[in-house]
């Protein structure tokens, strides 16, 4: 009888001990709890609209044809891939991105090599070189449209007129670049804006070189070209990849330059501008959503490569 009375409190106390949360888990949730509102806000603000876009992309939804609204399956995606105009849009997007990324990367690398050297006023020069990247994209596009590329009073034709007049000619060439070579006009404005971005990334890479190793190579008789070819260029490979991938992510989504310079005319419609036209002008919400989803998928693929390069870069830095 005495034994039964002593064992009763032990059996009732055991379940309470089992449900008590571990101290470490409580501390972890205490740290995470303040972040939950920001996480929920981010999900509601970014992911739910994207889920809605995906749903609409599988629908026939044109506000001009309300009687035809319904489920379309992969019809909108099939139309994007088979329509000749939309395929041309994808091709122009890839072409413009490649031109701008490669040109701005080459120019940015050359400028980074120059401003990496010591000279009087280097800080001021670096600050001035970064300014184009800080200009609002719409303002930069308007600047190129009216101040640089305008055939009547633009800087390019004004410079050609001054040079021809210097040699006694009154008939200088006056090219209308936006009409005759619209891709070149858009690319020039974007190269002007993105070269400082590439310069900053590549300048960081140049300054991360080990100076004692570079000086030892020079002492051993290696020339400037040999140092660049066999030491600088391999060291800069990750930074070049990083700049190219970051530039591709943003340039695939470029809208301002196309809208302000050509309004998508003369074969210069890229994917973001095609989304705008399909949504606001054609009122075809389903097809516009399918185009938008394809832009996002392309951007995610490039972003995954970017993250891979970033991780490898951090691992090399940590060694």
Q: Over the stretch 105-152, which tens digit does the pLDDT of each residue have?
A: 999 999 999 998 888 888 899 889 999 999 999 999 999 999 999 888
To which H or E segment does residue 60 belong? strand 59-60
Give me the pLDDT at residue 20, please. 59
Q: How far is CA 231 from the centre of its chain?
A: 29
Q: Give me the DSSP letters along 6-50.
A: HHHHHHHHHHHHHHSPPHHHHHHHHHHGGGHHHHHHHIIIIIHHH
143-185, pLDDT tens digit by residue?
999 999 988 888 998 999 999 988 888 788 888 898 899 999 9
Question: Is the Cβ–Cβ distance between 286 and 58 less than 8 Å?
Answer: yes
Q: Could you give the CA distance from residue 108 to residue 100 in angstroms, rounded to a whole number? A: 11
Task: Name residues whose C-beta falls within 8 Å of residue 74's C-beta, 6 or more positions apart in sequence.
Answer: 58
**What is the reported pTM?**
0.78
Q: Could you give the CA distance from residue 75 to residue 59 in angstroms, rounded to a whole number? A: 8
49-72, pLDDT tens digit by residue?
888 889 999 988 888 888 888 888
Give the dihedral sign, CA 198/185/305/277: positive
């Amino acid at each position: 009888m005495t034994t039964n009375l002593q064992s009763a409190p032990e059996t009732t106390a055991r379940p309470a001990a089992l449900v008590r949360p571990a101290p470490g888990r409580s501390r972890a949730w205490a740290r995470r709890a303040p972040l939950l509102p920001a996480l929920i806000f981010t999900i509601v603000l970014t992911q739910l609209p994207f889920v809605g876009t995906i749903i609409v992309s599988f629908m026939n939804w044109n506000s001009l044809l309300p009687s035809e609204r319904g489920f379309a399956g992969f019809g909108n995606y099939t139309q994007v891939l088979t329509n000749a105009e939309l395929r041309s849009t994808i091709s122009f997007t890839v072409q413009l991105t490649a031109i701008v990324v490669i040109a701005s990367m080459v120019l940015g690398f050359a400028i980074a090599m120059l401003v990496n050297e010591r000279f009087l006023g280097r800080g001021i020069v670096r600050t001035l070189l970064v300014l184009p990247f800080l200009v609002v994209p719409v303002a930069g596009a308007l600047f190129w449209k009216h101040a640089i590329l305008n055939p009547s009073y633009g800087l390019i034709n004004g410079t050609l007129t001054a040079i021809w007049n210097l040699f006694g000619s009154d008939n200088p060439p006056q090219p209308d670049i936006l009409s005759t070579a619209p891709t070149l006009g858009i690319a020039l404005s974007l190269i002007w804006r993105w070269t400082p971005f590439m310069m900053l990334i590549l300048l960081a890479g140049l300054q991360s070189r080990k100076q004692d190793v570079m000086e030892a190579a020079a002492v051993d008789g290696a020339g400037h070209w040999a140092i660049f070819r066999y030491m600088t260029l391999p060291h800069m490979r990750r930074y070049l990849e990083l700049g190219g991938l970051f530039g591709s992510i943003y340039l695939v989504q470029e809208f301002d330059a196309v809208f302000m310079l050509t309004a998508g005319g003369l074969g210069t419609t890229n994917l973001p501008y095609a989304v705008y036209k399909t949504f606001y002008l054609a009122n075809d919400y389903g097809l516009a959503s399918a185009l938008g989803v394809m832009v996002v998928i392309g951007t995610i693929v490039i972003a995954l490569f970017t993250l891979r390069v970033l991780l490898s870069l951090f691992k090399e830095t940590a060694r």
